[in-house]
Amino acid sequence: MKRLILIAVLVALAAAPIHVASAMGNPDEVAVYVNDEAISTWEVGLLVPQIQNEMATLGLDPNSPELIGRAVQRAIDSRLLAQDARKLGIEPDMARVDEKMDALAEGTGGHASLEAELITSGVTFDQLKATVVQADIVRTLVETRIVPGIEISDQDVKAYYEENPGLFMRADKIHCRHILFVVDPDADDETREKARKKAELAHARALSGENFAALAVELSEGPNAATGGDLGFTARGQMVESFDDAVWALEPGEISEVVESRLGYHVIKVEEIVPGETIPLEEVRQPVTEMMRQQRIGMALAEHVAKLRDTAVIRTPEL
């Protein structure tokens, strides 16, 4: 499924940054033939940074041995779509292509810098422009032949919403205050012990019934001391781990033991807990509709590419 969705990225080259000098490969060396059209190792190399970013986002090793294979397959899919676009009579939007070329020049520091990168890479301006033209006609193919066939009904959105309730829950929120005694991470044991004793005294005073907010104003060394140590509402996992564990173990009105964190020593009071609730459908209808549309575009595009592959002749130079 991940590959199905990622195939939609094929159309993004026309809008994505291209770093010519960092592209791997030789523009005159053939990586693979697709229906007798050569794809150079340089064209494959152009896709490598993009795919590395995608792999990193998915939690995969961006330098794994499968990187180049993924880039080759992406290049093949893109060429198949471009060939299909040409068969359908789709022409590039040259104004859009020129805008992209200008953006490439600007991104490298100007046309002179772009030309210098091209010379370093052994690539001609026309070869670079051809990759942008190909991406543009693929983009047009998707926009005119794939996207119009994608419909997301209100019923589709409702069904997704009802089938995935966990995705549409507001998290529990907790309102707390704290009294903080700051300790530098590199502080010695004596300094740390002095800070802990201050925290223990504050804890004892809080438990005796003194107003916690007033104690924070008097004693806290934290940046929110003036507001009674008020931390506002936060969700689980938003605080440092030891603080988070302590605060979510309390009930409203309860005061923690002394808690140590990388900031120092805290005494915490929970004021209020607001339980999570289901987000109304109307609040998420638009983003869910768009998310489903993008997923279906990716799947439809993957199916289209699979059909093109079924009838394509794909071979390496040795064959």
Q: What is the pTM of this model?
A: 0.68
Does position 9 have pLDDT exceeding 60, yes or no? no
Q: Are the CB atoms for 39 and 31 separated by under 8 Å?
A: yes
Confidence of residue 25 (pLDDT cuts 50, 70, 90): low
Q: And the tokens for 194? A: 């002095």
Q: Round the average pLDDT of the chain to a whole number and report it.
A: 89
**pLDDT value of position 114:** 84
- Say what the pLDDT of residue 49 is: 87
Residues with Cβ within 8 Å of residue 240, at least 6 apart in sequence: 261, 262, 263
Range with lowest mean pLDDT among 13-27, 105-119, 141-155, 276-290: 13-27
Q: How many CB atoms lie within 10 A of CB 181?
A: 24
> Phi/psi of residue 276, each to 5°?
-65, 160
* 1-5, 122-126, 245-249, 277-281: least confidently modelled range: 1-5
pLDDT, one tens digit per residue, over 30-81 is: 999 999 999 999 889 888 888 898 899 989 998 898 999 999 999 999 999 9
Burial class (CB in 10 A: 0-12, 13-18, 19+), 116: middle
Q: State residue 317's pLDDT score.
A: 87
Q: In angstroms, rounded to a whole number, what is the distance separating the alpha carbons of residues 20 and 42?
A: 9
Q: Note the pLDDT of residue 319.
A: 54
Please tell me the distance from the alpha carbon of residue 164 to that of residue 300, in angstroms, as a whole number: 23
Quick one: pLDDT at residue 134?
94
Of the chain, the percentage scoring pLDDT greater than 90 comes to: 72
d(CA 153, CA 167): 19
| Interval 76-126: pLDDT, tens | 999 999 999 999 999 999 999 999 998 888 888 888 888 888 888 788 888
**Neighbouring-strand partners of residue 180:** 266
Mean of pLDDT values over 22-26: 56
The yes-or-no verdict on residue 3 having pLDDT over 60 is no
**Which tokens in the block code for residue 34?**
């697709």
Distance between CA atoms of 24 and 188, rounded to whole angstroms?
52
Please enumerate in sequence order all residues whose Cβ is within 8 A of that of 109, keeping only pairs 6 or more positions apart, or say none: none
**pLDDT of 157 higher than 90:** yes
How far, in Å, CA of 213 to CA of 199, rounded? 15
pLDDT digits (tens, 9 = 90+) for 167-215: 999 999 999 999 999 999 999 999 999 999 999 999 999 999 999 999 9
Q: Is the pLDDT of residue 22 over 80?
A: no
